[in-house]
């Protein structure tokens, strides 16, 4: 499975901190191709001249990323991360689905 950033169907996520656009920067497959590391930038407009951005690196199961229900769960993890943390960070999404 060879995915490109534009293949990942993340667009935005609504949170208690506002709406965040999701821009996938890179996808790297693990050696066994079962898991992926997805690097993304999340952006939120503060006003007409200012944007807040955060960088998130997330490990996900390739099968979760390929299914509609898996995408929903991944977006829920991203939402929770935005709402409970500040700054840049990472999520181990692989262990979340076990």
Question: What pLDDT shows up at residue 57?
Answer: 97
The pLDDT value recorded for residue 97 is 61
34-85: pLDDT as tens digits = 999 999 999 999 998 999 999 999 999 999 988 899 999 999 999 999 999 9
Structure tokens at 78: 């991203």
Alpha carbons within 13 angstroms on the beta-carbon side of residue 16 total 6
Residue 21 pLDDT > 90: yes
What ranges do the domains of the chain cover? 5-96
Output the pTM of the full model. Answer: 0.89
């Amino acid at each position: 499975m060879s995915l490109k950033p534009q293949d990942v169907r993340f667009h935005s996520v609504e949170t208690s901190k506002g709406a965040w656009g999701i821009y996938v920067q890179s996808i790297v497959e693990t050696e066994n191709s079962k898991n992926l590391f997805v690097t993304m930038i999340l952006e939120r407009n503060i006003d007409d001249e200012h944007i807040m951005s955060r960088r998130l690196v997330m490990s996900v199961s390739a099968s979760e990323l390929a299914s509609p229900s898996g995408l929903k769960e991944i977006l829920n993890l991203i939402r929770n991360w935005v709402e409970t943390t500040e700054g840049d960070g990472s999520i181990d999404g692989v262990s979340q689905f076990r």
